[in-house]
Amino acid sequence: MTGTDPVAVVGAGPVGLTTALLLARWGVPSVVLERRPVREAIGSRSICQQRDVLDIWAAAGAGAIAEEGLAWTTARTFYRTRELFSWRFADAGTLPPCVNISQSRTEQILEECAAAQDLIEIRWNRDVTGLDQDADGVTLHCADGSAVRASYVVSCAGGRSEIRESLGIGLPGESFDDRFLIVDLHADLPGFEHERRFYFDPPWNPGRQVLIHACPDSRYRIDWQVPPNFSLADEMGPGLDRRIRQIVGSRPYEVGWVSVYTFHSRVADRMRCGRVLLAGDCAHQFAPFGARGLNSGVPDAENAAWKIAFVLRGWAPPQLLDSYDAERRAAALENLEVTSATMRFLVPQSEPGWTARRRALERAAGDPDAVAAIDSGRFAEPFWYTASPLTTPEPTRPPTGRPPKGAVHPPAPGVIVPDAPLPGGTRLRELLRDGFTLLLAADVPGDLATGLAGTAEGVPLRILRPADLDHRGGLATALGLRPGEVWLVRPDAHLAAILPRPTRAAVTAALHRALGFAAL
């Protein structure tokens, strides 16, 4: 690492800051280049952050996001004046299943963490206008005439990215005409405090939907679907007050932020071009129902950070970075598919689509079995790298489809390992994030793993026996680790391999594959 140029991160949005923090965790210095003069301190934007993303932020030192966020418990869905169904998050787990927190506060926490890091330098007012790549690195050019030399670039420059365009990478997909009005509100709303409420066609927004989310400190985020010709300027004042009063009644309220947005469903042709990786909204944009925007940008950041760090530290070949595109673009395409299905239900683009939507809602009002057809957003989940070039398939542990909401997937190569509390107040995932991990069933001979680290020079490799970690002996069962098995877990807690008949050669081969050597 000595003498290596820093990694350049373009954009100090939440994905850029997370990338820099995770690189620093691996000891890799970075320079974050941001075109804005200062961080914007208002506006909720991304509010729902999912447990596995909170876990990544905790690893990045930003555990405050989970602590400060409001852990909501219940999602209720209404049609006109009637409640159709509700569900609760299944378990409390090690971290809340989901918290609501404004994106501006999330960015502030991330920025404070970055400021405390010697390995991160944030340069504001640096608009990156172009870059040149050569065999040894990348030179980034800024609008003020300055240039930065970097070993790699992670472009987290958001949706309108000139960098992506300059690399010749397209962002095909569609943009929708439908508009959404967002208001951040401060009010006391008894009964709403730990809920997400989704209203289809309420009498106070006929033919359209409204979404209400509780946030910390008695704040609420309300989204109204509004007609394509909606004018915010005309709405401000009595119109907006009337709209809000239909929800809060006569209670006092204060408006914090008002905005109108349209949304896009787009995924980049490629997420890597030489030494430049695209992450977050720079690589994909989704309709926000299901909260798959930032909740997928953060795993991009994690995937990019560990792989760049492993290459720069000499633990893995540069080919490891090919798997960034393979894994994260597949994740983006899954998110595109899921959110597009939601949009087809929420905002049909044809008259027959509207009729089908109305019929489905009417059916659901009288038939609990019909609620499965109601799609108000499938909540973000970690992607499974089952088809990744880094994953060693195992026929006895085939991946199955997504389990019902709240159920844990049986372990399979590529799937993320569930978190678990450990004695002493730590969590399993905290240990896994330090490098690769071999999880050994109680009956696997210890000498299988002795000296294995030497087979992949310098690679951080920890050997754990769940039976030793958990004195009550339930951890192996909870994870689904069978007698005789060895699991190889990646630094992002995804299973690289499950070896039912482990030998030193099999473990070494799986490790080499997970490091990208198999592609050589």
Ligand X SMILES: Cc1cc2nc3c(=O)[nH]c(=O)nc-3n(C[C@H](O)[C@H](O)[C@H](O)COP(=O)(O)OP(=O)(O)OC[C@H]3O[C@@H](n4cnc5c(N)ncnc54)[C@H](O)[C@@H]3O)c2cc1C
CB of 250 to ligand X, least distance (A): 28
For residues 32 and 361, which CB has a smaller minimum distance to ligand X in the complex? 32
CB of 470 to ligand X, least distance (A): 32
For residues 103 and 265, which CB has a smaller minimum distance to ligand X in the complex? 103
Q: Which is nearest to 48 in space by CA: 189, 216, 248?
A: 216
How many other C-beta atoms lie within 10 A of the C-beta of residue 52?
Answer: 22
Q: Which is nearest to 334 in space by CA: 405, 284, 391, 274?
A: 284
CB of 302 to ligand X, least distance (A): 13
Residues 6+ apart with CB under 8 A from 387: 330, 414
Output phi, psi for 242, to 5 deg. Answer: -60, -45
Contact in structure between 270 and 325 (CB atoms under 8 Å): yes
For residues 16 and 411, which CB has a smaller minimum distance to ligand X in the complex? 16
Give the CA diameter of the chain: 75
CB of 13 to ligand X, least distance (A): 2
Radius of gyration of the chain (CA): 24
CB of 21 to ligand X, least distance (A): 13
Dihedral sign computed on CA atoms, order 196, 201, 203, 205: positive
For residues 261 and 354, which CB has a smaller minimum distance to ligand X in the complex? 261
How far is residue 82's CA from residue 341's CA, in Å, rounded to a whole number? 24
3-state secondary structure of 442: coil
For residues 61 and 293, which CB has a smaller minimum distance to ligand X in the complex? 293
How far is residue 114's CA from residue 112's CA, in Å, rounded to a whole number? 5
CB of 484 to ligand X, least distance (A): 40
How many other C-beta atoms lie within 10 A of the C-beta of residue 404?
Answer: 6
For residues 45 and 429, which CB has a smaller minimum distance to ligand X in the complex? 45
For residues 11 and 435, which CB has a smaller minimum distance to ligand X in the complex? 11
Residues forming a β-bridge with 183: 222, 258
Residues 6+ apart with CB under 8 A from 44: 102, 103, 104, 182, 184, 215, 221, 257
How far is residue 190's CA from residue 16's CA, in Å, rounded to a whole number? 37
CB of 382 to ligand X, least distance (A): 13
CB of 406 to ligand X, least distance (A): 19
Contact in structure between 295 and 301 (CB atoms under 8 Å): no
CB of 362 to ligand X, least distance (A): 29
Give residues in contact with ligand X (CB under 6 A).
10-16, 33-36, 45-48, 103, 126-128, 156-158, 161-163, 182, 261, 280-282, 288, 291, 293-295, 297
Report the run of H or E that residue 7 belongs to, with start and end: strand 7-10
3-state secondary structure of 62: coil
For residues 61 and 288, which CB has a smaller minimum distance to ligand X in the complex? 288
CB of 89 to ligand X, least distance (A): 15
How far is residue 207's CA from residue 354's CA, in Å, rounded to a whole number? 10
Angle at alpha carbon of residue 137, lines to 135 and 138, rounded to 5°: 120
CB of 32 to ligand X, least distance (A): 9
For residues 56 and 499, which CB has a smaller minimum distance to ligand X in the complex? 56
For residues 45 and 357, which CB has a smaller minimum distance to ligand X in the complex? 45
Residues forming a β-bridge with 265: 174
Region class of 458: left (phi > 0), else alpha (psi between -120 and 50), else beta: left
How far is residue 416's CA from residue 412's CA, in Å, rounded to a whole number? 9
For residues 155 and 392, which CB has a smaller minimum distance to ligand X in the complex? 155
CB of 126 to ligand X, least distance (A): 6
For residues 77 and 339, which CB has a smaller minimum distance to ligand X in the complex? 339
Q: Where are the alpha helices (DSSP H) in 80-231?
A: 103-115, 162-166
CB of 74 to ligand X, least distance (A): 17
Buried b (16+ CB within 10 A) or exposed e, 318-346: eebbbbbbbbbbbbbebbbebbeebbebb
How many other C-beta atoms lie within 10 A of the C-beta of residue 132?
Answer: 10
For residues 304 and 499, which CB has a smaller minimum distance to ligand X in the complex? 304
